[in-house]
Homo-oligomer: A and B are copies of this chain.
């Protein structure tokens, strides 16, 4: 039984720079996502030089993954190290925004696990800081940028394989694995709610595949269906969006992955176009193939299956380093990054009003 998620996707990542050209550090190791984030950046050319967390156990674990990294004496040692170009974090979600402000103030770029924010105020402060400093506030929306079927889907759409995108449906089930979770995971104010958290992946995917700049929350709902022992957990959430270009989105996120599934979640994405559709079975093809990265394309030419594991790579991480080095926005625009977070937060807010 696999709990958690792909910490370290195995797909190839091409180098953005020579060794030593892009030193990075990690601050806040609360979620295991930090390993995948740093590993993918390392594969793309970054050097993971330093790490800090208030918990020595987490630092020891980090050292196992990155033996060459040194443990900093405190956060400031990293912030004040002018060699460090980017700080990555998977801190407690409610603390990521404030950390980002400190990182940008110190003239570094910032790369945070999702959810990047737990309140709209944090987002507003981040937008202001980006404007002031010109620095990059990147978010690791890994369910798209670190999944090869998801990357390939973007390429197919760009090639016109399904013509105009009309709708995206996302299913984002996750395994709860309650015993493996830290206390903050069950405290609403700290994790932000299910739509803010795992919902943000879904919003990002929608905006990306539909090539939309903005979207309206037309419906959202959260529930705690079956976990009375964790009163602040939302074990179910759903959102309907309509984008500025007319495309629609529905997604469901939940913590109901059954114990018998061979991976943490049977993530699916269905993209409906005017001339075809795409289905991704991102992490498993149930009852068939326990590996991930399956894509099905149906269009005027017929039905096609693509097994994509190890074949597409994760261009995002390479492009992110290049963006930091070249001050460009090719990996993901800042506007898109923040808009996905904003819509997730608005959907969360609307769902709570309805609850």
With A166-B225, A166-B226 already in contact, the answer to whether A302 and B260 are too (CB < 8 A) is yes
Say whether A256 contacts B236, CB under 8 Å: no
Say whether A298 contacts B248, CB under 8 Å: no
Q: What is the interface of chain A mostly: helix, strand, loop, or mixed? A: strand
Q: Interface digits, A327-340 against B, CB 8 Å rule (1 contact, 0 not)?
A: 00000000000000
Say whether A258 contacts B171, CB under 8 Å: no
Instruction: Judge whether A288 is part of the interface by a CB distance below 8 angstroms.
Output: yes
Say whether A287 contacts B296, CB under 8 Å: yes
Number of copies: 2
A-B contact pairs, 5 of them (CB 8 A): A221-B248, A238-B250, A250-B250, A256-B273, A286-B305
Contacts of A302 in B (CB 8 A): 260
Say whether B259 contacts A287, CB under 8 Å: no
Instruction: Judge whether A82 is part of the interface by a CB distance below 8 angstroms.
Output: no
Contacts of A164 in B (CB 8 A): 226
Q: Interface digits, A266-304 against B, CB 8 Å rule (1 contact, 0 not)?
A: 100010111111010000001110000000101111111
Instruction: Judge whether A54 is part of the interface by a CB distance below 8 angstroms.
Output: no
Say whether B274 contacts A256, CB under 8 Å: yes
Interface residues of A in 122-170 (CB under 8 A from B): 162, 164, 166-167, 169
Say whether B300 contacts A236, CB under 8 Å: no
Interface residues of A in 208-231 (CB under 8 A from B): 218-219, 221, 223, 225-226
State A275–B255 Cα separation when bound (angstroms).
Answer: 11
